[in-house]
Every structure is written in C-alpha cells, then in structure tokens.
C-alpha cells in the first residue's frame, strides 16, 4: 500500500480520532438527521464564502447534460 506508513502513524491516528469525534458531535447536535446535517454544513459553507478567507471551486450543474446519442435506424 502506497500510504501504509500513515496508517500506523500514531500522530495521524490521533488526528483521525479527533476528526471523527468532531463529526459525531456535529451529527449529534443535528439529531443525527441527514437533512439538518446538510443544512448545517451549507450554512457553514455560506459563512466561509462570505469571509473571503477561503477559495471555493464552483460545483457543476446539479443535473448532468444528457448524452447525445444517435438514434438507431
């Protein structure tokens, strides 16, 4: 495995553990409700965008363009 050294890295394990704890706390604050969780993250994104401190990549259209195929005879 290319990044096997990261898996056994104790410092990295602590970071992953901390991130998981934070994610669980946020989920609990939202009642583990997916819709509320999405709304929470969208609100955070809006605040970060307004701050001007971070750059964001605009997402493509929600619906992909349909593939143009030739009709069979």
Sequential DSSP letters for 2-48: TTHHHHT-HHHHHHHHHHHHHHHHHHHHTTT-HHHHHHHHHHHHHHH
Regarding predicted confidence, which is higher, 38 or 3? 38
pLDDT at 9: 82
pLDDT tens digits, one per residue of 23-70:
999 999 999 999 999 999 999 999 999 999 988 888 776 565 666 766
C-alpha distance across the termini of the chain, in Å: 50
Distance between CA atoms of residues 25 and 27, nearest Å: 5
- The size of the chain, in residues, is 73
């Amino acid at each position: 495995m290319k990044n096997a050294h990261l898996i056994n890295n104790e410092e990295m394990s602590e970071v992953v553990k901390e991130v998981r704890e934070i994610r669980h706390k946020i989920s609990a604050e939202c009642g583990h409700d997916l819709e509320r969780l999405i709304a929470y993250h969208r609100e955070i994104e809006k605040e970060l965008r307004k701050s001007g401190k971070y750059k964001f990549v605009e997402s493509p259209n929600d619906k992909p363009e349909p593939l143009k195929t030739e009709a069979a005879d």
